[in-house]
Structure 1
Amino acid sequence: MTWSPPASCPAPDTTPRKAPALRQPSLSEIFPETAADAAAPAFALAHLSACSGPVLWIQDRLSARETGRPFPPGMGGCELLHLQVSRAIDVLWAMEQGLGCPALGAVIGEVWGSAPAVDFTATKRLALRAEAHGVPAWLIRRAAPPELSAARERWRLSSLPARPEPDDARAPGTPLWSAELFRTRFRAPGRWVAGHDPATGDLAFDHAIGMEAAEAARATA
């Protein structure tokens, strides 16, 4: 099926663009539209195409129970250090400790539900820690509303039907996601169909949804 916009919607810019990147490593948040959707960790990992060190992945108990543990063979060669803790406050503490280690390639935390511990002060500490040590941090907020936060970027993610596999129509193809950047400190927000560029393997935004071409170009610049 070919996607076509409604008559009132501007035609999308179909030129693939590389993923917009933060000016420096900092804290980004992801809110899956469906709590157990695998789009969130996949999208975070897609930003780490060239791992400069091990990825510290921290899950609270409910996240691990509802979504499962990360699968190292599917992480594109990144070395994984997995830690499971009981509470959201433990996730935040472990993330802060990990962000103080420049040898890590990234720190990813998963928290289930609306947790009082994940407030503006806690997220600001993580953002400043990530920026001070040059380690990117991703906080996946499952089954939680986007409350007040100091995260530099905040995304809503959901899975879309995968691209067709050219060599086998029955096999799963390259994944695609609906990625909405609804809060950002450094550029315009927007919504895209995102996925891996088949030619380069980089994360790319295939086309913007509900934005004119010029606006989409500014948002991904």
Structure 2
Amino acid sequence: MRESSPLLAGLRKRIARLAADGGFESRRTEGWLASGHASFDAAIGGGLAIGRCHEFFATDALDATSAAAFASLIALRTPGKAPLIWLRTSDAGKRTGHIYAPGIAELGGDPDRLLLVETADPKMLLACANDAIRCTGSAAVIVESWGKFPLLDLTAGRRLALGARDAGTTLLMLRLNAAPAPSVAETRWSVAAAASHALEANAPGAPAFDLELLRWRGGAAPARWRLDWNHDEQSFREAALSGALLPLPARRAMASHGAAAA
């Protein structure tokens, strides 16, 4: 089959080398990717289903970084050392910032597992996503897009979902500055930043997230959680502080002020 991108051809070779060198354990093709938060995982049948497609939407544009952080932390919880592929357009990289490897390490993740591919446009992003989910040896694929993604219609989404299921690859669709729409995703989430609990000497606390389950094909009703990331255990836990989110009108005012200043 013709390669859709020279980058993916090189990526396949790199993953194949890792496999030949015994660089990672065999991945599971079924089961659940647990967050570590007992009630959260129990509510969705044990965690995010492996080999399925899951969508993450930022509650608003100000939450793009939080949504990306949550998706990456979930991906880093995949067992073993299998590579994690992160696909994004160059435009998304400019808008949300570059991925910082020391920051991933500080959160307890292994940045060496992360293979980043930037594409020129959404058309190439979709083509690369279809290739990436079929790369033998990858544990999860994150596909990051910004704004509307007309090419990702129900037909294209079904193709991605079937590819993820057949390969046993967990597909995390990171939809930033976009509104939720009908899709074939197993779960759909809205992610926002939540107040974290300050450490000693008023040092910044662990990342905290406000999550809303918008849809689950298993049938659970919409629900919300507040989760903290535990660096030492590399898992999520109940938020140590109830903490309120910044009210939506204030968040929009901040965004409008930033746009005016630019």
**TM-score category of the 2 structures, normalised to the smaller one:** 0.7 to 0.9
SS of residue matched to 1:146: coil
Where 2:61 maps in the other structure, the secondary structure is coil
- The match for 2:83 is 54
Q: 1:54 to 1:24 in 2, by over 3 A?
A: closer
1:196 aligns with 2:229: yes
Structure 1 segments, 4+ long, off by >6 Å, are none
1:17 aligns with 2:46: no
Q: Which runs of 5+ in 2 are unaligned?
A: 1-36, 42-46, 243-262
Q: Secondary structure of the equivalent of 1:138? A: strand
Shift of residue 23, structure 1, vs aligned partner: 3.4
Q: Distance in 2 between matches of 1:204 and 1:83?
A: 31
RMSD (Å) for aligned C-alpha atoms: 2.2
C-alpha distance in structure 1 between counterparts of 2:155 and 2:119, whole Å: 21
More strand by share: 1
| Structure 2 contact 146–177 (Cα < 8 Å) conserved | yes
Secondary structure at the residue paired with 2:85? strand
How big is the shift at 1:63?
A: 0.8
Residue 192 of structure 2 is aligned to residue 158 of structure 1: yes
Structure 2 counterpart of 1:92:
126
Q: CA deviation at 1:195?
A: 2.1
Secondary structure of the structure 2 residue equivalent to 1:200: coil
Q: Is the 8 A contact 1:102 1:135 kept in 2?
A: no
**Structure 1: runs of 5+ lacking an equivalent:** 1-15, 210-221
2:255 corresponds in structure 1 to none
Partner SS, residue 172 of structure 1: coil
Report the number of matched residues: 191
Using structure 1 for the length normalisation, give the TM-score: 0.78
Deviation at 1:105, TM superposition (A): 2.1
1:40 and 2:73 are equivalent in the alignment: no
Kindly indicate whether residue 48 of structure 2 is the aligned counterpart of residue 29 of structure 1.
no
CA distance in 1, matches of 2:239, 2:56: 20
Structure with the larger helix share: 2
State TM-score, norm by structure 2: 0.66
CA gap 1:42/1:184 in 2 versus in 1, 3 angstroms: same
Q: Which residue identity lines up with residue 146 of structure 1 in the other structure? A: P
Q: Which residue of 1 aligns with 2:161?
A: 127
**Which deviates further from its counterpart, 24-33 or 196-205?**
196-205
Larger RCO: 1 or 2 (CA < 8 Å, sep 6+): 1
For the Cα contact (< 8 Å) 1:102–1:134, is it kept in 2?
A: no
Q: CA deviation at 1:147?
A: 1.6
What residue in structure 1 maps to residue 259 of structure 2? Answer: none
Deviation at 1:88, TM superposition (A): 1.7
Q: Deviations over 1:152-205 (max 9, x none)?
A: 11100010122221x332x21111111011011125131110222477331235
- 2:29 alignment counterpart: none
Q: Structure 1 residues 199, 115: closer, same or farther in 2, change over 3 A?
A: closer
